[in-house]
Amino acid sequence: MSVITDPQAFNEEELYVDVEPVFGHSLLLKCEGFNFAGSIKLKAATEMVSAAERDGSLKADSVLVESSSGNLGVALSVIAASKGYRFVCVTDARCNLATRLMMEALGSEVHMVAGQEANGGFLGARLDYVRRLCASDDRCVWLSQYSNPANWKAHYRTTAPQIARAFPRLDVLFVGAGTTGTLMGCARYFRDRLRDSGRPVRVVAVDSVGSVAFGGEPGRRLIPGLGMSMRPPLLDESYVDEVVLVEEADTIRACRRLARRGFLFGGSTGTVVSGATDWLARQEPGLTAVAVAPDLGERYLDTVYQDNWVQDLYGDGPLRTGGPAPAATAPGGPPPVPSEPGVSAPRGGFP
């Protein structure tokens, strides 16, 4: 029996899901969504808050401020509520309604920016608002998940060693790329471990089509979690062996195939699974492969798992998952060419 007083004290870290019966490729998902924040971002949030407390920049009357498309905002909301901090999350129209409501239920203030960058991203507008907010009130403390080394150190210290202990003969690790905190923490760990074990682990980054993180062409991205509209400051590509790009239609298809087998995962996980299974399909069988599954699917019920939303934005293709097909059956149909969505008006928040 476990008894806790702080929500961040609980995090199930030893659960893996074998998706070979669903996709026909040997792949184990490290499930990171079983905690009170519902995602892997609880690790980075805990590490960044602890580091700010240790260096004295975060005090009792401080106002935590962060830009987030969703999961980190919820993680910081959990910690802020537990520790008694005020928290302001700056987000945009891609943030799922359930995520915004969850942050508000935890006592956080949510501000949605309306402006977009020339390449269609919202990140620049979010960061501009954060900077203005911090300049207007010296109580504000911006943790800056995009450049804070505590982000990747959280995974160097926890996620990667957990995988290494469970799979001492790991061949390949698939990690989604957003801020690249998880990616860089894991990649640095396995590179350093190579010096001791002599056994290389191939680290494959999985990113969304339309993300510019690895120099790709900017494009429309509507599923929050992975992808960036700028090069991530934390990213060091010398630690990454390969990059796989995934269309959002394929993200949805992967999520729905998993759901048909009873596994309701989030959009970030669907992207990683789609990229990993595509990569494994081009390799010889027998590899020990693990993918990091960042989140669960409840927050995507009105988007990824909502038929009308999917049809309006991506057509019927992603809905044709083929049901619980035999393991050797590939996902049905090529990804459709998405139509341009209407832009909904963001909701105002913290002034």
How far lies 274's CA from each of 34, 244, 251, 278, in Å? Answer: 21, 10, 6, 6
Residue type, 248: E
pLDDT of 75 > 60? The answer is yes
Per-residue pLDDT reduced to its tens digit, 158-214: 999 999 999 999 999 999 999 999 999 999 999 998 877 778 999 999 999 999 999
* Structure-token pair, residue 144: 């800056």
State the Cα angle at 86 between 177 and 72, rounded to 5°: 10
Give the model's pLDDT for residue 115.
65
Average pLDDT over residues 97-124: 83
Per-residue pLDDT reduced to its tens digit, 328-349: 333 343 344 333 333 333 333 3
Burial of 272 (0-12, 13-18, 19+ CB in 10 A): buried
Give the model's pLDDT for residue 340.
35
18 versus 328: the higher-pLDDT residue is 18
Nearest CA-CA partner of 149 in 294, 47, 11: 47
Rounded Cα gap, residues 60 and 139, in angstroms: 10
What secondary structure does DSSP assign to 188-248, as a single string? HHHHHHHHHH----EEEEEEETT--TTSPPP----SSSS--SS--TT--GGG-SEEEEE-H
Per-residue pLDDT reduced to its tens digit, 201-220: 999 999 999 999 999 889 98
Residue type, 159: T
Is residue 174 a contact partner of residue 275, using CB atoms and an 8 Å limit?
A: yes
Question: 334: number of CA atoms within 13 Å, CB side?
Answer: 2
Residue 326 confidence class, pLDDT cut points 50, 70, 90: very low
Nearest CA-CA partner of 140 in 80, 48, 62, 87: 62
Residue 77 confidence class, pLDDT cut points 50, 70, 90: very high
The residue with tokens 């293709």 is 317
1 versus 48: the higher-pLDDT residue is 48
Residue 322 confidence class, pLDDT cut points 50, 70, 90: low
Q: Is the dihedral of CA 226, 339, 244, 240 positive or negative?
A: negative
Nearest CA-CA partner of 241 in 267, 211, 203: 203
Is residue 331 a contact partner of residue 250, using CB atoms and an 8 Å limit?
A: yes
**Whether pTM exceeds 0.85:** yes
Give the model's pLDDT for residue 346.
33
Rounded Cα gap, residues 290 and 31, in angstroms: 11
pLDDT of 324 > 70? The answer is no
Average pLDDT over residues 289-312: 96
Residue type, 74: V
Collapsing DSSP to helix, strand or coil, 112 comes out as strand
Nearest CA-CA partner of 85 in 69, 101, 109, 105: 109
Nearest CA-CA partner of 302 in 208, 220, 228, 223: 223
Nearest CA-CA partner of 351 in 137, 80, 73: 137
* Structure-token pair, residue 334: 């090529």
